[in-house]
Chains A and B, each alone.
Chain A
């Protein structure tokens, strides 16, 4: 089964840039599009990136997404970190066998 693996946690200081990776277990992660969701404590997830690198309206351009086929991974980069960015982040994609795959989530701490 296709799986997406994320680091359990990352931390960075306000104003800095952080990148969260999402690595595919097999095949090519570039075969289907990757989404990224932000989940603040006690709230439902919201989309920050869809179609690998597209931002929904209202999401600041400090958030960007990319795909690296050589490492079979997707990345979410947040620049100019703010304390409000502290949250859990999940990558998610389509798989022909299971339809939907979520990464395990990454806890971002802004300290």
Chain B
């Protein structure tokens, strides 16, 4: 079955760049779907960060767009997140997920498979 696994440093210093990778198994990213990142600060709700298509087209949350870069490496079957100039407000559990996006009129944009999440703390 399709599985996603996040990896990366659990501690990042303020003003530095947070970098995470999501390894996909059981499905080839090149075959389709969008792939996304979502985060959840401790005790708070879910926030979409951005998504990437297997071709490399990217879509970002406008509130984070200036600091976010999402890329895909089809040869390694993984996609990555970089968030620059981090502050304590970026401390969160970061999830990667597969995105099911379709519909010509009414659209479906659904996160159908999630990774287990990885906690990232921003602190000096």
Contact = CB atoms under 8 A, between A and B. Distances in A.
B110 interface: yes
Contacts of B85: none
Given A33-B103, A47-B112, A99-B109, 10 more contacts: A33-B108, A37-B46, A37-B111, A44-B114, A45-B111, A47-B110, A90-B45, A92-B46, A99-B48, A99-B51
B46 A90 contact: yes
Majority secondary structure of chain B interface residues (helix, strand, loop or mixed)? strand
Given A44-B115, A46-B114, A100-B61, A94 B45 contact: no
A90 B40 CA distance: 12
Contacts of A100: 36, 48, 51, 61, 109
Interface of B: 36, 45-48, 51, 59, 61-62, 95, 100, 103, 106-112, 114-117
Interface residues of A, number: 26
B66 to A, nearest CB: 15
Nearest to B48: A100
Given A32-B103, A33-B106, A35-B110, A104 B45 contact: yes
A93 to B, nearest CB: 7
Contacts of B36: 100
A103 B44 CA distance: 11
A76 B106 CA distance: 19
A98 B61 contact: yes
Contact of B110 (A30, A31, A92, A105): A92
Query: Max chain A CB contacts within 10 Å: which of B47, B59, B109?
Result: B109
Chain A CB within 10 Å, residue with most, of B59, B61, B110, B114: B110
Interface in A33-65: 33, 35, 37, 43-47, 50-51, 56
A102 B109 contact: no
Contacts of B47: 102
Given A102-B48, A104-B45, A44 B116 contact: yes
Contact of B108 (A45, A50, A97): A50
